[in-house]
């Protein structure tokens, strides 16, 4: 074999070796990119029917989606509602006269133009667990910079001293681990006190106080048993509706969880089933009469967005008394009256 023939064969061999090296490198790079894509891609929907979320990129509950839905309709959205506060006030006075409740507070706000009224200005959302809504907002704000926080798993263990006062619809199982995302859903949709306690303990110190400060909440962390005012609670819903604090994706997620509430009395029972609702419901024990009988005073409080087709509005009702069935009826009747007035004027 001549030297030129040997050199040509050796050149081919070297080229093949280089080619094989490049192919192997490309394959390894593909595996790495695939793994990285899985790491940095948006969180997949949580398993379970209750937690299934809509197709990625679609919105239903934030203002932008509501306005886009009716963009082509000729609706006088900016026309002010004729006053109907006196009708609500008359209903409340009748309920109080009949002893259906010992106190009732109503907050209404037109989300199109901001007009509002409040009956019972001194009403507030009492009890520790009224922080469920801001706690959800705090976690979703945290997840915007660290998406993996929603995948973190926490293990539930029963603490007799802090065991929830009521049984959630789907109780947490002792010894079982749950993702933070799952716990947030259970806390909001099922009003689960155990989920709330686990999430509170896992949140970095002062993180919740910062959220309330960012949102200009009338809240002083130095005071114990602090309650959230109606204005503060309304502000929490408005920033979600306007997607002005969380991203559109996270605001939509929060409102979607609120729309899944398992409590179907009160506000939910008074609104047509084809109308979307994003409502926070809580029941708070206030005090015992000390008579030895089962006569504890409870406070039922519901606050949320009613997505009327032409005029979405914010409604909050706080009813206090010793008969939960009557309190639920009070909230139902107030909601039905408000919805009817908005519907007739729209």
* CATH number for position 191: 3.40.710.10
Give the chain's residues under pLDDT 50.
1-20, 22-24, 26-50, 56, 74-76, 224, 288-290, 294
Let me know whether 81 and 147 are in one domain.
yes
User: Considering the entire predicted model, what is its pTM?
Assistant: 0.77
Residue 208: which domain range? 49-345
Query: Are residues 149 and 8 located together in one domain of the fold?
Result: no
Q: Which pLDDT value is given to residue 214?
A: 84
Q: Cβ distance 302 to 269 under 8 Å?
A: no
Residue 6 pLDDT: 44
Q: What are the strands, taking DSSP E only, across 111-221? A: 116-119, 124-125, 153-155, 177-179
| Dist CA 204 CA 212 (whole Å) | 14
Q: CA separation (Å) from 322 to 33, 101, 180?
A: 61, 8, 35
Half-sphere exposure of 253 (CA within 13 A, CB side): 26
Claim to verify: residue 156 and residue 15 sit in the same structural domain: no
25 in the same domain as 53: no
Pairs from 188-192 (Cβ < 8 Å, separation ≥ 24): 188/132, 188/133, 188/136, 188/257, 188/258, 188/260, 188/261, 188/280, 189/50, 189/257, 189/260, 189/261, 189/262, 190/262, 191/132, 191/166, 191/261, 191/262, 191/263, 191/281, 191/282, 191/283, 192/164, 192/168
Side-chain-side CA neighbours of 294 within 13 Å: the count stands at: 2
Same domain, 134 and 255: yes
The answer to whether 322 and 300 are in contact (CB under 8 A) is no
Q: What is the reported pLDDT for 95?
A: 94
Say if residue 211 is in the same domain as residue 94.
Answer: yes
Distance, in Å, from the CA atom of 151 to the CA atom of 290, rounded to the nearest integer, reads 46
pLDDT score at 212? 83
Number of domains in the chain: 2
> 266 and 144 in one domain?
yes
Q: Does 119 share its domain with 6?
A: no
Q: Do 86 and 203 reside in the same domain of the chain?
A: yes
CA distance 142 to 253: 14
> What is the per-residue pLDDT for 229?
79
Tokens of 31: 């595996």
Q: Is the domain of 184 the same as that of 53?
A: yes
Same-domain status, 67 and 91: yes
Residues 33 and 173 in one domain: no
């Amino acid at each position: 074999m001549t030297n030129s023939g040997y050199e040509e064969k050796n050149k081919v061999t070297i080229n093949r070796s280089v080619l094989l090296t490049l192919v192997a490198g490309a394959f390894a790079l593909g595996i790495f990119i695939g793994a990285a894509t899985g790491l940095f891609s948006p969180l997949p929907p949580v398993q379970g029917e209750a937690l299934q979320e809509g197709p990625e990129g679609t919105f239903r509950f934030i203002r932008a989606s509501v306005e886009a839905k009716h963009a082509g309709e000729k609706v006088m959205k900016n026309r002010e509602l004729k006053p109907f506060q006196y009708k609500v006030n008359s209903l409340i006075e009748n309920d109080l006269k009949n002893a259906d409740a010992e106190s009732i507070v109503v907050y209404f706000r037109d989300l199109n133009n901001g007009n509002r009224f409040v009956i019972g200005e001194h009403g507030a959302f009492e009890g520790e667990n009224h922080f469920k809504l801001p706690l959800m907002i705090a976690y979703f704000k945290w997840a915007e910079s660290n998406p993996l926080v929603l995948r973190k798993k926490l293990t539930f263990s029963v603490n007799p001293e802090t065991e929830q006062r009521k049984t959630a619809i789907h109780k947490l199982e002792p010894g079982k681990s749950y993702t933070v995302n799952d716990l947030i859903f259970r806390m909001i949709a099922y009003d689960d006190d155990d989920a709330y306690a686990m999430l509170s303990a896992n949140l970095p110190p002062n993180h919740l106080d910062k959220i309330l400060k960012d949102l200009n909440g009338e809240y002083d962390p130095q005071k114990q048993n602090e309650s959230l005012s109606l204005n503060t609670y309304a502000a929490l819903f408005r920033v979600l509706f306007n997607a002005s604090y969380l991203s559109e994706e996270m605001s939509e997620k929060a409102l979607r969880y609120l729309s899944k509430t398992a409590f179907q009395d009160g506000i939910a029972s008074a609104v047509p089933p084809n109308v979307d609702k994003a409502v926070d419901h809580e029941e708070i024990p206030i005090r015992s009469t000390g008579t030895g009988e089962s006569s504890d005073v409870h406070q039922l409080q519901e606050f949320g967005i009613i997505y009327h087709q032409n005029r979405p509005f914010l409604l909050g009702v706080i009813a206090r008394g010793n008969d939960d069935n009557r309190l639920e009826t009070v909230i139902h009747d107030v909601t039905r009256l408000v919805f009817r007035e908005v519907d007739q004027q729209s």
